[in-house]
Amino acid sequence: MPVAVLAPHDALRAPAAARVGLLDVCSTGAAEENHYLKWKEGDMWALLIAGELSDLPAAREIAAARLVLPVTRGHAKAPTKLGVVLPKAPFEKDKAYDFKNFSEMVATGVVPKQPTEAEYKPAKDFTVDVTRAVKMIAAGDTKFHGFAIREVPDRSVDDGWTTRLDLPRAAPVQLELDVYDKR
């Protein structure tokens, strides 16, 4: 069941009372609308997903949580490993954000090699399991300042290629939540 729809660059109220927006940031601190993820020395871009999550069930009631990321173009020669981190401090749209404020990796996922050079039309959704992070937030063990998604160079996944993922300008990122039945 989708709990929150995370909309690009706009605040909104979703079913689980999540208000969010997307912001691309570079390791140099630039905040721009570039709509891609890349992690190469001197050219590092991450996607910040801001907002607040409220009305989450108790941590013990959460069976699974997934972040659904729409992708318009993957890498045609290799899969791409994604990492999800939790920003340690709040951030604002169009303001610089220091990557030193990223937590350790809380989740990883792999976007498979794209079969052709053509874009996915419409965008293709890929999921990253963020159950551990959402349970920590629900239990109050960590403060939620949003999610950050970045690429993770991993030769066992990307065969040494510098990969990049393109994201659509308007497609929302979703947080899906599975809860245990209370019978």
Length of the chain in terms of residues written: 183
Q: Are 116 and 183 in contact (CB under 8 A)?
A: no
Q: Are 170 and 6 in contact (CB under 8 A)?
A: no
142-153, pLDDT tens digit by residue? 888 888 888 888
CATH number of 7's domain? 2.60.120
Percent of the chain with pLDDT over 70: 73
- Which strands make up the sheet holding 2-6, listed edge to edge? 2-6, 173-179, 62-71, 124-129
Structure token digits, residue 56: 């989450």
- Domain count of the fold of the chain: 1
Q: What are phi and psi of 79, to 5 degrees?
A: -65, 165
In terms of pTM, does the model score above 0.95?
no
Range of the domain at 55: 2-179
Structure token digits, residue 136: 């920590």
Q: Which of 44, 4, 54, 41 is nearest to 24 (CA)?
A: 44
For residue 48, the number of C-alpha atoms closer than 13 Å in the C-beta half-sphere is: 35
Which range, of 12-16, 30-34, 75-79, averages the lowest pLDDT?
12-16
